[in-house]
Amino acid sequence: MDTKVQQDQSKSESRRQMANAIRALSMDAVQKANSGHPGMPMGMADVASVLFADFLKFDAAAPDWPDRDRFVLSAGHGSMLLYSLLYLCGYEDMTIDQIKNFRQLGARTAGHPEYGYAGGIEMTTGPLGQGIATAVGMALAEKKLALEFGDDVVDHYTYVIAGDGCLMEGISHEAIDFAGHLGLGKLIVLFDDNSISIDGATSLTTSVNQLSRFEASGWDVAYVDGHDPQAVAEAIGRARGSDKPSLIACRTVIGYGAPNKQGSAATHGAPLGDDEVALARETLGWSSKPFEVPQDLLDNWRACGRRGADTRQQWQARVDALPTERRETFDAMQKGYLGADFQTCIQELKQRFADEQPKLATRQSSQQVLESLLDKVPGLLSGSADLSGSNGTRPGNAVSLTNEDFGGNYIHYGVREHGMAAVMNGIALHGGYIPLSGTFLAFADYSRPAIRLGALMKQRVVHVMTHDSIGLGEDGPTHQPVEQIASLRAMPNLMVFRPADAVEVAESWACALAETDSPSVICLTRQGVPTLRTRYRSENLVARGAYLLREPAGKRKATLLATGSEVQIALEAADMLARFGVEVAVASMPCWELFEKQSPEYQAIVLGGECRVAIEAASPMGWDRWLGKRSSVVGMNGFGASGKAEDLYAHFGITAQAVHDEVRRLLQI
């Protein structure tokens, strides 16, 4: 046997041993927790060992090193695969006690990997398909940042492990199509091609040829035996050389090593059982006790964890040697700073809007705000799901990012709302850019699962959602959001803004961008609205969540609470009531989540006395939290209709007259 063959064989043998450590830890942790998914980690252990031992650029001592390769476990149910790898490689957060406490309250080893719980977890998966789509955003950000700073500073791959489930989900279509179109050559997906999901064989539910599907989307594809380390290594090596994204279908046996259960759905999501675990130990030749890894093997793994340390130091030296301004810009973009001119820019916009008092749709004033910010905020990356002209996310100074030129600051996401939201999460997680993009508010439902993960991971992502009520008019009830605002407000960590005029739009943008640990939705009108804040004040009133826009001249009899385009209706109603001798206050409430954070004293000042009427052209659900006993909501109690905006407001009774009548009814006068 020649030396090369001998070397290859001994390397493969070493990788198999390393993989068995993953298998043992995974089956033991699931067994101890009496819950979890052993099948996937046992099946993909060989592939993961090759990836981590021979390819992945990382340094376990520096999980946040910006130029590390990203590894996304899209098939998040196989979390023990990731936790085993992090422990074996010596990540500080992942101790053996964490592995022993798999899935227990307070442990870093949650059922599905949770972003922020431990270094080395690049994102939160769980909902299948999100990982692969988020990874597209990471790879996109890498390619753009590399263009901007050069591959001396930015040069890393994004690897994904995805299963049948991830590839069945619709979002995978949006993601792979987009990645293929953009030619994200440093995105490499390792497909756990085991033909098993929970219900049994995937032949029950799908006949798709994944290789053909990916190939048709512009990917390079390969097919390997996932239990042959050398074949896996060769395929990854080839994929790294491609200028297209790559899919490597790794043929694996789910639960590999469990003699009676491997290859069956029984290993997918249940402990193997003590007897089968014991038999698996025999089959794999694993004689160590539960949670013990032989020292030489652990040493091998720990050496992998340190493998990237030199590379990282060399990278740091190159960054340190950059001209000062370049280095400062790179650091500032990594930290997501908004730039020195950000606050001045917002104040100038507010001053201009207050002076000029334009009657503009808030989507239009938002476009003006963005036009100013795009030049000032480094790394601001706009886009839209094919509604650029309608959403106002593409101001005149936006430059399209295309597959030929990544230099632009505007992404045409195509008609892919779900994929777009996930890609934005990936861009934010990667670092370097601040993503924002637009669609219609009614289509928030299409992107909701990704918005939710962004909220769970506390990522600064801005979702511009226009055409925010029946005020959009003739497109009718399919396009008129009714329940979306309430449902978005129900989502933890998400800030929902519904500004009333141009000044509030500028302030909403200031809040959304300055808040680095929450995503935002900015709901904007299609129809024109007057400027209501006609006197310039430097204070950001939207940051209070709600504030009194009109205070009564005499004793306050009631308070009108409104958001967005309905604030002007509230003001008209207040005038009508004043003419009748009834003094009411008008509170604009552009962001409930921020109002919630105010002191009870401030809240009491805004909310005023007992009698309150809320006005919002949307589902009344949720308003009761701000209303007292004598109160009501003027809103939508069903779907909208097709017609002119003003006719629709009259038809659905969302008018100043209706508000006036409601106040008088409540006051019994």
Q: How far is the CB of 261 from ligand TPP (least distance, A)?
A: 13
Q: Rule CB under 6 A: is residue 333 a binding residue for ligand TPP?
A: no
Q: Rule CB under 6 A: is residue 384 a binding residue for ligand TPP?
A: no
Residue 369 near residue 506, CB atoms below 8 Å: yes
Sign of torsion, CA 409 415 418 419? Answer: negative
Q: Rule CB under 6 A: is residue 163 a binding residue for ligand TPP?
A: yes
Q: How far is the CB of 269 from ligand TPP (least distance, A)?
A: 7
Q: Rule CB under 6 A: is residue 196 a binding residue for ligand TPP?
A: yes
Q: Which residue has the tokens 């491609």?
A: 242
| 3 state SS of 232 | helix
Q: Rule CB under 6 A: is residue 198 a binding residue for ligand TPP?
A: yes
Contact set for ligand TPP, span 169-188 (CB under 6 A):
169
Is the CB of 126 or the CB of 476 nearer to ligand TPP? Answer: 126
Side-chain half-sphere of 414: how many Cα atoms within 13 Å?
14
148 catalytic per annotation: no
Nearest-5° angle of CA 410, CA 416, CA 419?
Answer: 85
Of 36, 66, 120, 165, which one interacts with ligand TPP (CB under 6 A)?
165
First-to-last alpha carbon distance for the chain, in angstroms, is 102
Is the CB of 40 or the CB of 421 nearer to ligand TPP? Answer: 40
Q: Active-site residue among 142, 169, 174, 417?
A: 417
Phi-psi region of 126 (alpha: psi -120 to 50; beta: other; left: phi over 0): left
Q: Rule CB under 6 A: is residue 75 a binding residue for ligand TPP?
A: yes
Q: How far is the CB of 161 from ligand TPP (least distance, A)?
A: 10
- Which one of 88-96, 157-165, 350-358, 595-603 is the stretch in contact with ligand TPP (CB under 6 A)? 157-165
Q: How many residues bind ligand TPP (CB under 6 A)?
A: 19
Site map 263..282 versus ligand TPP, x via CB under 6 A: -----x--------------
Phi-psi region of 2 (alpha: psi -120 to 50; beta: other; left: phi over 0): beta
Q: Rule CB under 6 A: is residue 486 a binding residue for ligand TPP?
A: no
Q: Rule CB under 6 A: is residue 128 a binding residue for ligand TPP?
A: yes
Sheet with 584-588, edge to edge strand ranges: 547-550, 584-588, 558-562, 612-615, 631-634
Tell me the Cα Rg of the chain: 28
Site map 236..255 versus ligand TPP, x via CB under 6 A: ------------------x-
At residue 536, φ and ψ (nearest 5 deg) are -65, 130
Of 38, 39, 255, 499, which one interacts with ligand TPP (CB under 6 A)?
39
| 3 state SS of 107 | coil
Is the CB of 22 or the CB of 486 nearer to ligand TPP? Answer: 22
Of 36, 127, 271, 640, which one interacts with ligand TPP (CB under 6 A)?
127
Report how far residue 528's alpha carbon sits from residue 521's, in angstroms, rounded to the nearest whole number. 20
CA distances from 72 to 27, 89, 131, 177, 200 (A): 21, 16, 6, 19, 25
Q: Are strands 200-201 and 196-197 parallel, antiparallel or unpaired?
A: antiparallel
Q: Rule CB under 6 A: is residue 193 a binding residue for ligand TPP?
A: no
Residues marked active site are found at 417
Binding site for ligand TPP (CB under 6 A): 39-40, 75, 77, 126-128, 163-166, 169, 192, 194, 196-198, 254, 268
